[in-house]
Amino acid sequence: MPIPNKETIYPDMLPGKPQVSVLKQLLHELEQKGVPTINLVDAFEVYRVKGGMPYQVDDTHWSEDGVKIAADLLTAKITELNSRN
């Protein structure tokens, strides 16, 4: 579960040209190697597009909603992996 920084989710709020996040490439490579992953980048981006705020407005910590998204995805992944055994 690579953790995106706030700049990855809110690149439009930074001055200058947004930097490309390496997390999506990392997730792709891990998945190609069969490593179980949790994609918070896409989850946080989708939530933001829907008007949600996965990060606190005034700092770089997750909001309560961001924590819930991550916890729900982690729970789902653990459940999935346990059901395989």
Q: What is the pLDDT of residues 46-71, one digit of tens each?
A: 999 999 999 999 999 999 999 999 99
Token pair 């989850």 is found at 43
Domain that holds residue 18: 6-84
Query: Taking the complete model, does pTM exceed 0.75, yes or no?
Result: yes
Residue 11 lies in a domain: yes
Residue 1 lies in a domain: no
Q: What angle do CA 59, 39, 75 make, to 5 degrees?
A: 95
Residue 60 lies in a domain: yes
Count structural domains, the chain. 1
Residue 72 lies in a domain: yes
CA-to-CA separations, 23 to 9, 79, 81, in angstroms, rounded: 11, 24, 22
Quick one: pLDDT at residue 4? 95
Residue 17 lies in a domain: yes
